Structure 1
Amino acid sequence: MAVLTPTDLTEKLKGLDGWTHAGDAIRKEFVFQDFPEAVLFVSALVPGAEDSDHHPDIEIHYKRVVLSYSTHSEGGVTEKDIDGAARADAVAASLPHLEEFGDG
């Protein structure tokens, strides 16, 4: 799968709320009501990541979760990363108490 061109990546990011381009990845910070909800979100990502065989880098900071997607084998952002980001947004939207602050 080919790395997206800068123009294509810019267009794709317009369709993803709060996702930004950072180096050779896309990233977003999600803020939840508390630590258990943050961990619930991360756990809920597992089925989609396993089904697609494409996994985000995940940082958990109490009630904040930072996801980064990059196709390491290609050296940048591909359509797989855009799809992963969209799945993560759908998972977050399905949680009852999602709160977003800051840049995400």
Structure 2
Amino acid sequence: MVRIFRNMSSPWDDKRKFEVLFRNTREECQIAMLAANISDIPSFDVGQRVFKRSFRLSSAGNDYNAKLGPQYVPCVIVAKKGTSSYEVADMNGKSLGVFSAGDLKA
């Protein structure tokens, strides 16, 4: 990246200075976006035992407090449905639905 500015006083020099700043900023943004997109997306195999995030809500009528309940529930990967989505079943084989890899952990 070129960041050298000499004594620029004419309007053309100001335009060139702006173009250099714009190019440098764009390059820095592109590098930052590439670094952010390289993050690890967890991948799981079919049949692997994982923990699924529990989305159960509190219920006064059922005397259940979600804050004190389990945050993750054990389950098994049944099938891969997309690049980062998996169909999961509980330990008895009952299908729980399709969940994102972000809601699962090994």
Q: Give TM-score, length-normalised by structure 1.
A: 0.21
Higher strand residue share: 2
- Higher helix proportion (structure 1 or 2): 1
Q: Which has the higher contact order (CA 8 A, sep 6+)?
A: 1
